[in-house]
Amino acid sequence: MFFPSEPFRIKVVEPIRRTTREEREKLIKEAGLNVFNVPAEAIYVDLLTDSGTSAMSDNQWAGLMLGDESYAGSKNYYHFEESVRDIFGFTHIIPTHQGRVAENLLFSTILEKGMIVPNNIHFDTTRANVEYNKGLALDLVIDEAYDPHIFHPFKGNMDLHKLEQTIQQHGVHRIPLVFITITNNSGGGQPVSLQNIRETRQLLDRHGIPLFFDACRFAENCYFIKEREEGYRDKSIKEIAREIFSYGDGCTMSAKKDGLVNIGGFIGMNNDELADKITTRLILIEGFPTYGGLAGRDLEAIARGLQEVLNEDYLHFRISQVRHLGQMLEDEGVPILKPVGGHAIYLNAKEFLPHISQRQFPGQALTVALYREAGIRAVEIGGLMFGHKDPHTGEDVWPELEMVRLAIPRRVYTTQHMVYVAESIAKLYKEREKIRGLRLVYQAPVLRHFTARLEEV
């Protein structure tokens, strides 16, 4: 495989520390076998998330110095609005301090008890915000998404047949909008094709239902479209993005992903009435509409980051770096989700640890082992994150996929770090029989994976 080389050079360095195995053993025990409770300073390569972990460019850091911290009408807000509108096109651009607040504002405004929000696959905060507002969050991705072995170029696609059936079954009045998440984070960072987006739009037009995007990784999705979808090879990333959003009525976005910043988000939409209602709530929760919980300098960094992320050299390196890690793991026989998505490698924990049943959290067991053995922090996306009790039958419901996500921060780690990660995982794979299952000793009622405590069985 061709070696991806960095389209940037390093101007500032942040030292990271190696720990001993004994130190890590003690820390992970104190953390209740939950890597969210481990101090970041005791982690060598942190692949917990690609959210808010990006390295900013010299251009963005320079922009911070131009922060205008006026309470109202900051010049950075106007630049932010201009930059977002240039790509997304929506009439109303409402800043928020991160993605989940955008979701909270939107769903608390539009949802009534028993309403349904279809998505390809809801991200965990999206699902939680729908459910907290007494809605039902439905995942209607194509079936291929659940088979970790099938190659499909657009595994994040919405299943149009399932969507049509859902509308027929529940009725238009119960579906205030439909979401498409690009790329589909919880399904492995898989892209959605423009054809699928166009067809979803056509279907929803027949019923008069609005379409929103969860746009966190829109640029990575655009890169896949350019690479894989017929007719887009000669289009720029911005042209592809504009076409995507031209089919939407709005979006929520966490700028902590493809905004290339450490904090920020926004809601975009065309509906004036909805924008008014959301703005009223925004003032209550986040702040005045021209800062939305952010400092002026943060808005400037987003304005610049959103344009930088469209750079094809950057995107080529980004996607290749993730793909390269995937290739190194595959060469060692490690079971991963395929094809490799945009921002992360997903280890298939059911296959990695076939001796641990799903009710003993094989994904979490693998995550703990990876920290203990190599100082690498990953995150479980499986039974701990999505397992729950059926509200009607009281029985445990387990997700189809049991994965461990290695999310790669943008512009942060070098190819050599990726080699370290691949070698550490390959070693763990050879000794996988030693890893034991886990049981829960504490769980919170929502988003339990963040604060859960576990022990080995």
Ligand X SMILES: *Cc1c(COP(=O)(O)O)cnc(C)c1O
- Closest by Cα among 270, 297, 240 to 85: 270
Q: Does 249 participate in binding ligand X (rule CB under 6 A)?
A: no
By the rule CB under 6 A, 196 interacts with ligand X: no
Beta bridge partners of 139: 119
Pair 119, 181: CB distance under 8 Å: yes
Verify binding: residue 314, ligand X, rule CB under 6 A.
no
CA distances from 455 to 41, 54, 295 (A): 23, 33, 41
> 203 or 294: whose CB is closer to ligand X?
294
Q: Which one, 109 or 181, has the nearer CB to ligand X?
A: 181
State in angstroms the smallest separation of the CB of 196 from ligand X.
Answer: 17
Q: Is 100 in the site for ligand X (CB under 6 A)?
A: yes
Cβ atoms of 66 and 300 within 8 Å: the answer is yes
Q: Could you say whether residue 120 binds ligand X (CB under 6 A)? A: no
> Whole-number minimum distance, CB 424 to ligand X, in Å?
25
Q: Which is nearer to ligand X, 98 or 196 (CB)?
A: 98
Give the residue ranges of DSSP H helices in 208-261. Answer: 218-228, 237-246
Residues with Cβ within 8 Å of 30's Cβ and at least 6 positions away in sequence, in order, are 37
**Cα–Cα nearest to 220, from 127, 317, 297:** 317
Q: Tell me the residue nearest to ligand X as measured from the CB.
A: 99
Q: Using CB under 6 A, pick the residue from 95, 99, 188, 293 that binds ligand X.
A: 99
Smallest distance, ligand X to C-beta of residue 223, A: 17
Measured between alpha carbons, how far is 88 from 39 in angstroms, rounded to an integer?
Answer: 37
Which one of residues 46, 159, 214, 249 is an interface residue with ligand X (CB under 6 A)? 214
Instruction: Name which of 50 and 159 has its Cβ closer to ligand X.
Output: 50
* Min separation Cβ 212 and ligand X, Å: 12
Query: What amino acid is encoded at 407 in this protein?
Result: A
What is the C-alpha to C-alpha distance for residues 130 and 105, in angstroms, rounded to an integer? 11
Applying CB under 6 A, the site for ligand X has a residue count of 15
- When the beta carbons of 90 and 352 are compared against ligand X, the nearer one is 90
Is residue 346 within the footprint of ligand X (CB under 6 A)? Answer: no
Cis peptide before 200 (omega within 30 of 0): no
Say whether residue 411 binds ligand X (CB under 6 A): no
> 15-54: which residues touch ligand X (CB under 6 A)?
51
Work out which of 77, 88, 90, 123 binds ligand X, going by CB under 6 A. Answer: 123
Q: Pick the closer one to ligand X by CB: 111 or 216.
A: 216
> 190 forms bridges with which residues in the sheet?
184
- Cα-Cα-Cα-Cα dihedral of 361, 365, 368, 370, to 10°? -130
Out of 83, 98, 120, 166, name the contact with ligand X by CB under 6 A: 98
Interaction of residue 177 with ligand X, rule CB under 6 A? no
- Smallest gap from residue 282 Cβ to ligand X (A): 15
Say if CB 368 and CB 33 are below 8 A apart: yes
Contact status, residue 413 vs residue 439, Cβ threshold 8 Å: no
Q: Is 266 in the site for ligand X (CB under 6 A)?
A: no
In the complex, least distance from residue 312 CB atom to ligand X, rounded to whole angstroms: 22
- The interface region with ligand X, picked from 87-95, 123-131, 273-281, 313-321 by CB under 6 A, is 123-131
Shortest separation between residue 439's beta carbon and ligand X, angstroms: 28
| Helix 362-374 and helix 21-30, axial crossing angle in degrees, nearest 10 | 140
Q: Which of 53, 147, 148, 49 is nearest to 367 (CA)?
A: 49
Regarding 286 and contact with ligand X (CB under 6 A), the answer is no
- Is 321 an interacting residue with respect to ligand X (CB under 6 A)? no
Phi and psi (nearest 5°) for 258?
-75, 10
Min CB(110)–ligand X separation in Å: 17
Only one of the segments 33-41, 153-161, 253-261, 379-387 lies at the binding site for ligand X (rule: CB under 6 A); that segment is: 253-261
Considering the complex, state which of residue 155 and residue 256 has its C-beta at the smaller distance from ligand X: 256
**At a CB cut-off of 8 Å and minimum separation 6, what does 259 contact?**
253, 265, 302, 305, 306, 309
* Distance (Å) of CA 220 to CA 166, 346, 438: 29, 17, 35
405 is a site residue for ligand X (CB under 6 A) = no
**96 contacts ligand X (rule: CB under 6 A):** no
Smallest CA-to-CA distance from 326 within 380, 383, 402, 405 is with 405
Give me 75's structure tokens: 């010049």
Name which of 122 and 372 has its Cβ closer to ligand X.
122
Q: Which of 127, 226, 256, 304 binds ligand X (CB under 6 A)?
A: 256
* Number of Cβ atoms within 10 Å of the Cβ of 357: 13
What are the residues binding ligand X (CB under 6 A)? 51, 98-100, 123, 125-126, 181, 185, 214, 216, 254, 256-257, 265
